[in-house]
Structure 1
Amino acid sequence: MDSFDMVHKQYDAMIHKIIHSLNIYKDKDAFYQTGLIALWEAYDKFNPEIGAFPAYAYSYIKGRIMTELTRNHLTEDRNVYQKEEFWELIKDEQPVETLPRERILSYCSELTVNQTKWVLYTCLDVLSVREIAKVEKVSISAVKKWRKGAIEKLKLLEL
């Protein structure tokens, strides 16, 4: 039989076709890798006396990808990943000790006005992104941009 490189080139389209036929649209690279490993295993275990290699490889690859697909679905069903808004709704039961306003402002010298607002609302008033957006009458994504910029600049000050 040919070397695996030749087999890989010859059956590469088969792996892609199987992925497409199973309507896999997420994590295509991971499923392609699974298919490639299955092709290698089929190549390694193939016995020419049993039948033709293309049919053997096809069933081996498709079976392995379907097993991986089932495993992924079970993992998704068993695990619940909460959206960011969920975590903003949870109230912290611990008493909050805030820093003095002057000390907080001393860290904000390199920040824009809006980034400073985010720091003050977050540290002094303990407001969530959603609450800051409501108070400032801006979108939540705008406040998230303030937060991102402030965090990036404050990290640079740590150095």
Structure 2
Amino acid sequence: MNVTFEEVYEQNKRRIHYHIHKLHIHDPHQEFYQEGLCAMWNAYQTYQPDKGVMSTYFNYTIRNRLIDILRKKTREQQHDDSCVQEVGAALYSGNRNRKSETPIPDYTGISVDDSSDEMWEQVKSQLTEAQWNWVYHYIILNMSIKEIAEKQGTTIDAVKSQGKRARQKLKEVWIGTEGQVPRPAR
């Protein structure tokens, strides 16, 4: 082959623009043009005159390279979009603590073993009767605050207050013993 690549480029540079336009590719940073140019160089290097016309080989090589890059970018964009959705779902699910912007841990799927009477007796020994009523109805029986208020003949705010005091008391006891279940006084 006695034609230099510069001569081939000058004769065929519009071919790259043609394929970019034909494939409806928006190329503001000339990324696809550069890939088309590399494809043209590879086609120039591997062209065999006895296999066919050079322009047909250029068209085939440039078009397929642009399609490959387009597919790759589409896959990357889909992956990025799914990552953004996952992070967005985690950040904006509404399951957040107001004091800090960290998500509240999700304890779904963790069951409380109701057969552990000893553990519940230890918890009960640390609480007042009203606090224990909240723990029993809200945690063990899984009743709503409204249901507990109706059952006890009190207000929703009173039940919430019982729960707040029970949680505070249990935090003080358990955090004070490094998260261990307190031993009942004998």
Q: What TM-score do you get using the length of structure 1 for normalisation?
A: 0.51
Indicate the residue corresponding to 1:5 in structure 2: 6
Q: Report 1 or 2 for greater relative contact order, CA contacts < 8 Å, sequence distance ≥ 6.
A: 1
Q: Note if contact 2:40-2:58 (Cα within 8 Å) is conserved in structure 1.
A: yes
Q: Does 1:57 align with 2:64?
A: no
SS in 2 for 1:62: helix
User: What residue is the counterpart of 1:47 in the other structure?
Assistant: 48
Higher Cα Rg, which structure: 2
| Number of residue-to-residue matches in the alignment | 93
Give the SS at the match of 2:49. Answer: coil
Map 1:147-158 to 2 at 5 A: none
Q: How does 1:61-100 map to 2 (within 5 A)?
A: 61-80=62-81, 93=100
TM-score (norm 2): 0.44
Deviation at 1:79, TM superposition (A): 0.6
- Structure 1 pair 92–33 and aligned structure 2 pair: CA distance change class (3 A): farther
* Contact preservation (8 Å) 1:38, 1:60: yes
**Residue 112 of structure 2: aligned partner:** none
By how many angstroms is 1:63 displaced? 0.3
Q: Distance in 1 between matches of 2:51 and 2:67?
A: 23
Name the CA distance, whole Å, in 1 between partners of 2:99 and 2:59: 54
The whole-number CA distance in structure 1 between the counterparts of 2:73 and 2:7 is: 31
RMSD after superposition: 2.8
Instruction: State the one-letter code of the partner of 1:93.
Output: S
Superposed displacement of residue 28, structure 1? 5.2
Q: Which runs of 5+ in 2 are unaligned?
A: 102-186
- What's the % identity of the aligned pairs? 28
8 Å CA contact 1:19–1:28 kept in 2: the answer is no
For residues 6-25 of structure 1, the aligned pairs below 5 Å read 6-25=7-26
Alignment partners' CA distance in 2, 1:30 and 1:60: 16
Aligned to 1:24, the other structure's residue is in SS state coil
